[in-house]
Amino acid sequence: ADGKILIAGYSRNSTYQNYINIVRYSNNGTLDATFDGDGKVIAELDSTNDECNILLLQPDNKLLAIGTKRNATENGYLFKDIALARYNGDGSLDASFGADGKVVSVFAPNDMNKVHQAVLQPDGKIVISNTYYNIYTGNSILHHELIRYTPNGVIDMAFGTSGRVIIDAEPVTMLSQPDGKIIVITLSYDSQSNAFVTLKRYNTNGLIDTSFGNNGTTGFAGIFWGPLTAALHPTGKIIIAESSPNTNGVSTFALTCFNPDGTIDSTFENDPMPGDTGRYSYGIFVEPDGKIIVAGRSTSVSDGGSTFFEFITARYNPDGSIDATYGTGGVVTSYLGSTYEPYNIIRSIVYQPDGKFLVALTKEEQNPASPNPNSYDFVIYRFNADGGYDSEFGTNGQVITSFYNKYDEAFAMVVQPDNKIVVAGTTDTGINRDFSLVRFKNSIALGSSKFEAGAGLILYPNPVKDILHLQATDATGIIDYSIYNMLGKLLDKSTGDSLKVDVSDFSSGIYNVHINTNKGTLSKKFVKE
């Protein structure tokens, strides 16, 4: 594992055809030449336009890009099929997946599909949430569904009915539990435009899990002015971040917490954050110690009256209260751009183990030399944990990448276990729009070879090759420990006062260890070589 960064998106050429892109960056934000020779990959599904908006990182370090492929009927109607492509670590297509690394699913002729999100299950299966309608029906009746694929890209007929499960509202996000169950979160409105967030949990076979909530369903009503995001807490609780009005009537962060059984956690504080600037959540992350980070965008007005965007993060305690020790009043902000840049919209956020944030977006650039003076590029910002651009990343904390100086749109980003960044999206080649990936190098500061994990407690060696020692000294006693990967998946758990943990089978990368002692709880990171 090498920690490089990947971003997914798409770009457009002069004949309005799309290519799906993946870009990988090295540790300082430079392109990673070990990824397809120049850090960039373009995958054409066929001669049509493709759009990529999802990127998943598999445990084996392979990359799964998901989106749609556009076609046209004899009558000129446009429709979109579901498309997937899987890449090896060097950027080549994985021939063991689908047909030469690519899968296109056509369930009915002339369906217009919109893929919302995808998750990997512990057994390697892929679940996609999708909305579709048929362009020949003469109306826009929307149908919502889940679709599951086997690890080699075949529709899993053991899931639901012929690999599909019908859901009754538009899915906004999904969570995959360690036991393989899936939580689907939808947003719907009644005839009076009242909004409802609904959570449903499905068993591994696609049937509703009736032990969750009320016969598999739970939820809440509210007013939502922006995206909804969700995360699983290490305790199994489900935390949803909303963009809701506060007492000042402006959009701000709000959290809602559910217990693992689907009941509302009444002990969790869920009042919207105070403030007088608009705040919209785009990502939620749970730290190993149970604290919660919400990241997104705020809109502010300068003293001169101009409006601008800021990248904003807020940290909450495990009970939902604001962590006043973080930033100023629990909030950290950094300048992102002016509101006159309409494409300066956050697409993906990654929270690094060192507390820094990577933000991927599409940025509109002025290009006077082009027949069309506006071009659209992949952009990554890296912000320090305490706010402000990270000057060690790219140029003043920013990296801009273009494929054909035309139309490149970033949609998704992951950080590999070796810290490299991969961004995926769509690019316009001048002939088609295709999937595109870019990989960059990325540096993350880590601990020393042996460090104090707390009073009377040591964790060594770090980095580690095979055996990690958790050792209590003095009067400190270890009650239990849990080890998680950077995706939040529990890998190991045990008890004892003096422990030797065999990590020889772990992939190279960064891991979190959560230790409960008779003097309290602490969380540390270690590196597997």
**Among 59-68, 376-385, 412-421, which range has the highest average pLDDT?**
59-68
Domain ranges across the chain: 3-445, 452-528
- Residue bearing the bigger pLDDT, 218 or 14: 218
Q: What CATH number is given for 452-528 in this structure? A: 2.60.40.3080
Percentage of residues in the chain with pLDDT exceeding 90?
29
The whole-number average pLDDT for the span 410-420 is 86
Residue 438 corresponds to which tokens in the numbers above? 């870019």
Q: In angstroms, rounded to a whole number, what is the distance separating the alpha carbons of residues 207 and 169?
A: 17
Q: Which of 41-45, 79-83, 148-152 has the highest mean pLDDT?
A: 148-152
Rounded mean pLDDT, 13-18: 49
Using one digit for the tens of pLDDT, what is the confidence trace for 224-269? 777 889 999 988 999 999 887 777 777 788 899 999 999 999 999 8
**Contact yes or no for 144/186 (Cβ under 8 A):** yes
Which residue from 41, 57, 204, 206 is spatially nearest to 120, judged by alpha carbons?
Answer: 57
3-state secondary structure of 176: strand
| DSSP letter, residue 220 | E
Which of 129-133, 164-168, 195-199, 371-375 comes out lowest in average pLDDT?
A: 371-375
The maximal CA–CA distance of the chain, rounded, in angstroms, is 79
Choosing among 1.20.140, 2.60.40, 2.120.10, 1.10.10, the CATH entry for 3-445 is: 2.120.10
**Does residue 452 have a pLDDT over 50?**
no
At 452, which amino acid appears?
Answer: E
Angle in degrees, CA 11, 12, 13, rounded to 5? 135
Closest CA relative to residue 8, chosen from 420, 429, 423, 416: 423
Residue 453, pLDDT > 50, answer no
Question: Which residues are 522's β-sheet partners?
Answer: 515
pTM: 0.78
Prior bond of 373 cis (ω within 30°): no
| Cα–Cα distance for residue pair 524/513, rounded to 1 Å | 5
